[in-house]
Amino acid sequence: MHTLIKIISILFALLVLFLSNSSAGSGCGSSGSGGCGTSSVQKPLGFKNPPGPAGGGGCCGPTKSPQPAGAVKASMYQQTTQPVKPQKPAIPILPEGNVWKTADGTKWYTCPVMDVDEKVEDAMATCQYGGVTFHLSTPECVQPFKSEPVKYLKALVIPANIESVDSKGVKQYRDPIDGSVGSLLRRVPLADYKGRRYYFTSNKNRDTFLAKPTGYASVK
């Protein structure tokens, strides 16, 4: 009887061992090898889970595919680029910049740095400010003008009523009040109005101009 009981115990133990071995699988449960869950089996160093189906991340469900580098770059270029507007000047400037004309249509300019008058065709350099081109006497004038444009433009006035310039550089002007002609060989009465300089043949004409400049400022 004692021997029979021992045999039954051994058979029961074998049955339990068989059932425990058959229950260990390779799914996504909490045990087994190759799954994505917490496993009681320690993986060797460097071991990685085998890849799952295409577009997936193993047996624990699909994972998001990495975005190609080109797609990021393309999205950057698809953004709408706003045109850069020219910087608004800090002080009012003339639409023609520092250019003025004589009666025959010849274009001259007054260099804001050197304060000299020359023909536009003889300008050695130009510089942009507030969307307007300014002509300069020498390339050395560019850096000072770019560094302090307001300083030079505040002091800049261009001739408004120069009639002609002779071969020696002497300027003749036409008085905007009575149309008389004078020469700048000597000092004459003058008045500055909105960035332009007007010359007169008499103090009386200058005073008449200053009393109501809008009535004469358009006369060249």
Q: What is the 3-state secondary structure (H, E, C) of 1-38?
A: CHHHHHHHHHHHHHHHHHHHHHHCCCCCCCCCCCCCCC
pLDDT 10s digits, 117-149:
999 999 999 999 999 999 999 999 999 999 999
145 and 172 assigned to the same domain: no
Residue 93 is predicted with a pLDDT of: 78
Q: What whole-number distance in Å separates Cα of residue 170 and Cα of residue 165?
A: 5
164 and 201 assigned to the same domain: yes
pLDDT 10s digits, 75-104:
454 555 555 555 566 667 788 899 999 999
99 and 148 assigned to the same domain: yes
Structural domain boundaries enclosing 168? 157-220
- From 156, 175, 200, the end of a domain falls on 156
Question: Quick one: DSSP state of residue 140?
Answer: G
Percent helix, strand, coil in the chain, to 5, is 30, 20, 55
93 and 146 assigned to the same domain: yes
Output the six-digit token pair for 27. Answer: 């799914």
Task: Please tell me the pTM assigned to this model.
Answer: 0.58
Residue 176 falls inside a structural domain:
yes
Q: What percent of the chain has pLDDT over 70?
A: 61
Residue 54 falls inside a structural domain:
no
> What's the number of domains the chain is made of?
2
Q: Any idea which of 16-25, 41-50, 121-130, 134-143 has the lowest mean pLDDT?
A: 41-50
183 and 162 assigned to the same domain: yes
Q: Among candidates 180, 109, 186, 113, which has minimal Cα distance to 146?
A: 113
Q: What is the mean pLDDT of residues 148-172?
A: 94
148 and 102 assigned to the same domain: yes
